[in-house]
Amino acid sequence: MRVRKLKNKTLSLTNDGRLSVFFLGVGSAFSKRHYQTNLLVIKGEDHLMIDFGSKAPQALFELGLSVTDLRNFLITHSHADHIGGLEEIMLTNRYVRREKPNIVINTTYQSILWDMSLRGGSAFNEEHGGEVLTFSDMWEVIRPTWLESYPRETHEANVGSINVKFFRTMHIPDWPDNWQSSFWSCGVLIDDRVMYTCDTRFDTDLVFSFENLFEPEMIFHDAQFYNGGVHAGIDELNTFPADIKKKMVLVHYGDNWEDYEEKIKEYGFKGLGQEWSYYDFD
Ligand SMILES: [Zn+2]
Ligand SMILES: [Zn+2]
C-alpha cells in the first residue's frame, strides 16, 4: 500500500486499474476541519461512493467534481454525516442529469433509508395520478446477495470490477453487546483486501471474524479519543494485538487529533487516516 497525495486538488474517478481508496473526509460527524468520513473506492473505470454525508457535496466541489459525476453508492447507516448529501444526489440526477444513479442496498435498509430519512425531501416533488415518487424513481437498485454462511449478516455485490461485502455492525444505540439488537448499520470489505468498519462501537468479534476469513491488508477503523458512546475509543482499540494495530488506520476522529498523535504512535497503530490522499493497493 502506498499513500499518494492528490495533485492540483483534482480528484479522478478512474485510474490505471489498481484498487485505490480516497477519503473525501476523515472527521467525526460534527467535525469542522475534516468533512466527516466518507470513502470513495476507485478501480480502473469503476468507482463506488461509500456514504455521502452533509459535507460531502462541498468536499466534492472543492475536489473539482460535480455531484452528478458520482454514479455508484453504498450507504452504511442513516446518520446525517453519512446520508446528508443524498438529497442533492437524488434531485440533481432527476432534474439536471436526468439519469438515475446506482445504489447497492438490501431490502431491509432500503425501507429504513427511504421511509425514515430520504422520502420527506424527495417523494413529494412530483405527483402523478395521486402517486408520489418512490425510491426506485430516484435510484437504480443493485440488489446484493446474502452470504448465508458468514458469521454475521453479510451481503455481497459487484460494482463493475469492485467487489464489496457489507456486514452488520453495532453502532447505535450504545448498549447492546451484539449486532442483532443494534439499529441497522454496516461496515464494508473491499475486494477481500481492505476492511472499513465505518461507524461502530468497539467490537473485537467484528475485527477478528474478518481477520480470520480474509486477513485484510488494511483496516480503516472508526475511532474517537475517549471511551463510551457509539464509537470505538482508542484505548479500547489499543487492546488489539500488535499485528492488527499496525495495519489499522483510524478515521472518523475529532478535530483535536493533534493532542493524540503521540499516543496513537505509541500504541502502535498505523496512524490517522489522511483526507484527500489516494491509498493505492497494488
Ligand atoms: Zn459518522
Ligand atoms: Zn454514525
CA-CA distance, 112 to 116, in Å (whole number)? 6
Residue 49 confidence (pLDDT) above 90:
yes
- Determine phi and psi for 198, rounding to 5 degrees: 55, -155
Which grid cell sits at 42? 476507485
Query: Which is it for strands 218-222 and 194-196: parallel, antiparallel or unpaired?
Result: parallel
> Could you tell me the pTM of the whole model?
0.97
Choice among 7-11, 30-34, 83-87 with the minimum mean pLDDT: 7-11
Å from CA of 8 to ligand 2 middle? 31
Q: If DSSP codes are grouped into helix, strand and coil, which group holds residue 155?
A: strand
The SS3 assignment for 152 reads: coil
Q: Considering every ligand atom, which ligand is closest to the CA of 171?
A: 2
Q: Which of 58, 21, 53 is nearest to 39 (CA)?
A: 21
What is the band of 8 on the pLDDT scale with cuts at 50, 70, 90?
A: confident
Residues facing residue 159 across a β-bridge: 162
d(CA 257, ligand 2 centre) in Å: 19
Ligand 1 centre to CA of 36 (Å) is 7
282 CA → ligand 2 middle, Å: 30
